[in-house]
Amino acid sequence: MLFNSSAFILYFLPICLVGFFALGLSGRPRLALAWLTAMSFVFYGWWNLWSVPLLAGSIVFNFYVGRVLAANPSRLLFIGGVAANVLLLGFFKYTGFVGTTVSDLLDLGWHVPEIALPLAISFFTFQQIAFLADSYDGVAEEPKLLNYSLFITFFPHLIAGPITHHKEMIPQFDEPAIFRPRVDLFSLGLTVFFVGLFKKVVIADGVALYARPVFEAAALGVEPSLLEAWGGALAYAMQMYFDFSGYSDMAIGLGLLFGISLPLNFNSPYKAPSIIEFWQRWHMTLTRFLTAYIYNPIVLALTRRRLALKKSVLRPGRTDLSAFVMLLAVPTLVTMFISGFWHGAGWQFIAFGLLHGVFLTVNHGWRMLKARGGWSVPGPEPLRHAASVLLTFVCATLALVFFRAADLPAALRIVGGMIGANGFVLPQDVMNVAAGRAIVQAFDLRAAELDLFWVREILWLTLLFGIVWFMPNVAQWMRHYQTALAPKLKTIWYDRKALADTPLAVWHPSVACGLIVGAIGVMALLRTFSSAPTEFLYFQF
Amino acid sequence: MKAAESPIRTTVPAEGARAFALSYLLALAVGGLSVIVLFGVALVSLDSVGRLPPPQLANTLCIDEKLRFLRASSSFDAPSYRPTVLAVGSSVSWRTFDGEAVEQATAGRGVPFNGGFCALKMSETAFTTRYFLEHYPSVRDVVTILAPQDMTDCRNARAEIFDPHDVDRYVYGDAWVFPLYLKYFDPVSFVKNIFRVRNAFRWGFAFDRYGGLPIDTKEIHARLIYGALEAYDAECFAALRGLANELKIDGRRLVVATMPLHPAWLERYDPQHRHVSQFEQRIDDALAGTGAVHWRPKGFTLQRDDFVDAIHIRWSAAQAFSRALVEDTRLGQPRIESTPTAAAVR
């Protein structure tokens, strides 16, 4: 069941809310939590009933392993517990990919059967590995199976994150305040949910129409020209951001309806002036997990080893090459490789992860070089900042091409187009205006009917660039109210005091904001319930 | 585990929060209702200036425009209207088949109806054929004019391009259209359609009285528009065969005409004519044993200037094409024992 489905909005959510608060108000908080857990299993099983026992089994297994680890931190049990989770994920997610790769490499001609991937297995496996690691380290202890089950299954975050941490979730389930409906939290939750729904069903699904044909054509062997490739890549970058962040907003809004706060998952990542900061703003809960449970342990182990061998380690302004390679580049590449492979079983996902690993390594290296040499890039700060943001965005877009492409060759066709390897052709429409004709003639360019680029796409992208670069995100817009678990967010021009009293510039539960959000919400709901098929863009008639 | 403080903080004083939030929730509802009211006002305004797009029943403007045309033309749902020849398919059928050729060949006894749409794959054509046959049981002959592009990518196409129930209400009933605009709400394509509604159709936008849409232009177009062909999809040919078998069981005849392609397209994308040969062969295979007729123009050629792109031809050529098709296959004429078979008309 998806949040943007009528089954969810019209039936599941109201029933779930009414049941939860009815039980909560009648003085049965444990029953209310049990209801929420049961409904979360229904939510999960809606997609595939057969996955429910797997999820339940995984929860029970990890809960009891965690309890034993908390009481008796056995290294063997810890490794066994983590291995069991990784094997489960590996079996469902990677058997086909590994089998096919081995078969192709050794020309074995195996027929590798397809294994249905249980929904959200990547998310709940990560969460539970974190729980085992913290139990082993003595910083997590949860004696109640019900609380633990709800921490894993709580439907707002179950299938697409945010990836929650037991420390921030489980204490909330023991908070008596959540069992009483609060009209202020309901207002906040509905607002965040409506904005997220609008981002998903109107913006992301709208711009997806321009991305899909390019990636589908590339999968069929078409080599897009420069404009077509960039059009597809930029459209996908926007689709991905509005889709994923919209879904995260919806999750956060739904959590608020139940009085439960979820962690922030996106913080205007396309405003990031470096790829390091990009990952602090994009899928933030994944970054948090990767950093805490993969990157940091690797760096710690390698640092200890190098210290024992009396080799150099990372030091601000004085890091040498071997320390940089072994303690920063290698852990970064390994972590991002795992991140890429976690996202999907395919070479294109590995390329996505490794590409980001390289970007991050270069970014760290550049910072260290600057610190070591005491350099700074010349030029006015706004210009340097804009150039940094642009470069970061281009890197992120390039990597997303691999993320979206059907396979590695298809991704390379689009990247080839982006670097001009497939030629530069202007749309025929430029010949309809005198200036366009003049430019074509002056620079000896070619104009033709482009199959995979639409002039109106430029309007879309301009609008969306305006939003992602110059507008506040939801958490910033609603900054006087904590909607998600997050540190205080940096804001830019819209944080100025002059705007504080401007209606709509900052969200307040005012009539003006209510009218706007209501309008956005109903538009999103109408689109959600709409029977209109996806518009067919790619035809000539 | 120690319970933490409630994580939700607001700056609204607790005693005022409730009243404040209630007025906000009320404003949410009013804002939402306003959208619906304003949308209705926008529809009326657009209609008054002639820029109202049709409801997005298929969310493909040319299909939705055809449905609007059928709704607006009272003749198509008159009880006395009993078409005997149904043309179906993608824009090649829609813009090539001339109903007048049938009328002339049958001295008015044959009644043609052009049920072609646009951008349809064969599986979708099969769906629209079934839809129109439900409404016009008088049809004896079904004709489709296929281009190779119609036989690709059926796998990813949803065969049901519209909801028959809603289209029934819209085209053949007197449904109030506002609920349909709401039900098929897509603000992005709706806004786009406002600006495209007058120029969405290349080469003119005037339906003929049979439901066809002639390409009535004298302009010479250099563009092929259609590029390299995707691989043929077995599901398309399976859909064709399934339709042919259904029609045979119903006692109807299916005539499949294959569209000649622009010579420049062939030179560029199929110089060895492999795609075209395979296309013709696979149609023969799909129709084998179904009694359907596969017609290829014989003794009839199209010139480069007849084409407006790789697969569409201008009306003067389409009329000649249709006459040859009707003459060879005796479309709309009473059945006789010597009705051409697939082999005979090749």
**Contacts for A439 with CB less than 8 Å, ≥ 6 apart:** A430, A445
3-state secondary structure A498-541: HHHCCCCCCCCCCHHHHHHHHHHHHHHHHHHHCCCCCCCCCCCC
Whether ipTM > 0.90 holds is no
Crossing angle for the helix pair B234-249 and B274-287, to the nearest 10 degrees:
30
Q: Does B288 touch chain A (CB under 8 A)?
A: no
Closest alpha carbon to B322 in B194, B143, B165, B148: B143
pLDDT for A378-429, tens place per residue?
778 889 999 999 999 999 999 999 999 989 999 999 999 999 988 888 887 7
Handedness of CA A103, A104, A110, A113 (dihedral sign): positive
CB contact under 8 A, A449 and B223: yes
3-state secondary structure A467-482: HHHHCCCHHHHCCCEC
Q: Tokens for A462?
A: 């301009």
CB A302 within 8 A of CB A331: yes
Cβ-in-10-Å burial (0-12, 13-18, 19+) of A29 comes to middle
pLDDT at B342: 42
Instruction: Grade residue A540 by pLDDT with cuts at 50, 70 and 90.
Output: very low
Give residue for tokens 């711009």. Answer: A207
Return d(Cα B20, Cα B4) in angstroms, integer. 27
Higher pLDDT, B334 or A196: A196
Q: Does B149 touch chain A (CB under 8 A)?
A: no
Q: Tokens for A337?
A: 């490789």
CB contact under 8 A, B1 and A177: no
pLDDT at B2: 35
Could you give the percent of chain B with pLDDT greater than 90?
58
CB contact under 8 A, B31 and A534: no
How far off is chain A from B15, nearest CA to CA, in Å?
Answer: 11
Residues of B in contact with A478 (CB under 8 A): none
CB contact under 8 A, B4 and A175: yes
Give residue for tokens 């004083």. Answer: B13
What are the sequence ranges of the domains in chain B?
79-162+206-329
pLDDT at B11: 41
Could you give the percent of chain A with pLDDT greater than 70?
95
Instruction: Name the maximum alpha-carbon separation found in chain B.
Output: 92
**Residue B338 predicted with pLDDT over 50:** no
**Residue A24 predicted with pLDDT over 80:** yes
CB A205 within 8 A of CB B28: no
Closest alpha carbon to B124 in B102, B105, B98, B152: B152
Crossing angle for the helix pair A205-219 and A408-418, to the nearest 10 degrees:
110
Instruction: Provide mean pLDDT across the span A508-524.
Output: 93
Crossing angle for the helix pair A347-373 and A408-418, to the nearest 10 degrees:
50
CB B252 within 8 A of CB B292: no
Residues of A in contact with B191 (CB under 8 A): none
Show the CA angle centred on residue A338, arms to residues A307 and A332, nearest 5°. 40
Residues of A in contact with B214 (CB under 8 A): none
Nearest to A184 among B17, B118, B226 (CB): B17
Return d(Cα B295, Cα B252) in angstroms, integer. 16
State which residue of chain B sits closest to A167, comparing Cα positions.
Answer: B1
Beta-ladder partners of B294: B256
Residues of A in contact with B34 (CB under 8 A): 515, 518-519
User: Which ranges of A374-482 would DSSP assign to H, the alpha helix?
Assistant: 381-404, 408-418, 434-442, 455-470, 474-477
Return d(Cα A515, Cα B26) in angstroms, integer. 9
Which range is most confident: A372-381, A489-498, B292-301?
B292-301
Higher pLDDT, A279 or B226: A279
CB contact under 8 A, A532 and B12: no
Catalytic residue among A111, A343, A356, A480: A343
Assign B295 to helix, strand or coil. Answer: strand
pLDDT at A109: 80
Instruction: Name the maximum alpha-carbon separation found in chain A.
Output: 79
Nearest to A515 among B7, B31, B228 (CB): B31
CB contact under 8 A, A183 and B17: yes
State which residue of chain B sits closest to A507, comparing Cα positions.
Answer: B24
**Contacts for A255 with CB less than 8 Å, ≥ 6 apart:** A154, A156, A157, A189, A261, A262
Closest alpha carbon to B133 in B225, B277, B246, B298: B246
CB A232 within 8 A of CB A213: yes
Crossing angle for the helix pair A226-257 and A455-470, to the nearest 10 degrees:
50
Q: Tokens for B175?
A: 């449904």
CB contact under 8 A, A514 and B31: yes
Report, in angstroms and rounded to the nearest whole number, the Rg of chain B calculated over CA atoms: 25
CB A200 within 8 A of CB A243: yes
Assign B144 to helix, strand or coil. Answer: strand
Nearest to B192 among A182, A188, A456 (CB): A456
**Residue B3 predicted with pLDDT over 50:** no
Cβ-in-10-Å burial (0-12, 13-18, 19+) of A301 comes to exposed
Residues of A in contact with B27 (CB under 8 A): 510-515, 518
pLDDT at A499: 60
CB A132 within 8 A of CB A62: yes
B344 to each of A308, B295, B296, how far by Cα in Å?
90, 9, 11
Give residue for tokens 């017609």. Answer: B295
CB contact under 8 A, B32 and A256: no
Strands B112-114 and B253-258: unpaired
CB A227 within 8 A of CB A424: yes
CB contact under 8 A, A541 and B119: yes
Return d(Cα B128, Cα B123) in angstroms, integer. 9
Query: Cα torsion for A287, A292, A298, A303, to the nearest 10°?
Result: 120
State which residue of chain A sits closest to B23, comparing Cα positions.
Answer: A511
CB contact under 8 A, A142 and B1: yes
Mutate which: A184, A188, A425, A449, vs B, most B CBs within 10 A? A184
pLDDT at B339: 45
Nearest to A540 among B166, B225, B231 (CB): B225
Cβ-in-10-Å burial (0-12, 13-18, 19+) of B188 comes to middle
Assign A368 to helix, strand or coil. Answer: helix
Q: Tokens for B106?
A: 């049958």
**Residue A161 predicted with pLDDT over 90:** no
A508 is catalytic: no
pLDDT for A28-76, tens place per residue?
999 999 999 999 999 999 988 888 999 999 999 999 999 999 988 899 9
CB B329 within 8 A of CB B340: yes
pTM of the model: 0.84
How far off is chain B from A264, nearest CA to CA, in Å?
Answer: 13
Helix H or strand E segment including A88: helix A75-106
Which segments within chain B are labelled E, that is strand? Answer: 85-88, 112-114, 141-146, 253-258, 293-295
Mean of pLDDT over chain B: 86
CB contact under 8 A, B27 and A513: yes
Residues of A in contact with B215 (CB under 8 A): none
Work out the end-to-end distance of chain B between its first and last CA atoms, rounded to an integer number of angstroms. Answer: 83
Report, in angstroms and rounded to the nearest whole number, the Rg of chain A calculated over CA atoms: 25
Instruction: Grade residue B345 by pLDDT with cuts at 50, 70 and 90.
Output: very low
Give residue for tokens 């997990």. Answer: A289
B 10-49 residues with CB below 8 A of A? Answer: 10-12, 17-18, 20-36
CB contact under 8 A, A186 and B225: no
Q: Under CATH, to which class is B79-162+206-329 assigned?
A: alpha beta
Nearest to A541 among B18, B161, B202 (CB): B202
pLDDT at A436: 82
**Residue B7 predicted with pLDDT over 50:** no
Spell out a b/e string for B151-160, using b for 16 or more CB atoms within 10 Å of the CB, else e. Answer: bbbbeebebe
Nearest to A526 among B58, B118, B185 (CB): B185
Nearest to A530 among B25, B158, B185 (CB): B185
CB A358 within 8 A of CB A366: no
Return d(Cα B317, Cα B312) in angstroms, integer. 10
CB contact under 8 A, B32 and A185: no
How far off is chain B from A287, nearest CA to CA, in Å?
Answer: 22
Instruction: Provide mean pLDDT across the span B267-285.
Output: 93
Give residue for tokens 């991905």. Answer: A240
CB A364 within 8 A of CB A328: yes
Instruction: Provide mean pLDDT across the span B110-121.
Output: 93
Identify the weakest region by mean pLDDT among A29-38, A518-527, B18-27, B219-228.
B219-228
**Contacts for A380 with CB less than 8 Å, ≥ 6 apart:** none
How far off is chain B from A170, nearest CA to CA, in Å?
Answer: 8
**Residue B10 predicted with pLDDT over 50:** no
Show the CA angle centred on residue B9, arms to residues B3 and B14, nearest 5°. 105
Instruction: Grade residue A444 by pLDDT with cuts at 50, 70 and 90.
Output: confident
Query: Cα torsion for B119, A536, B209, B115, to the nearest 10°?
Result: 50
Residues of A in contact with B26 (CB under 8 A): 514
How far off is chain A from B79, nearest CA to CA, in Å?
Answer: 30
Side chain identity at residue A450, one-letter code: L
State which residue of chain A sits closest to B196, comparing Cα positions.
Answer: A456
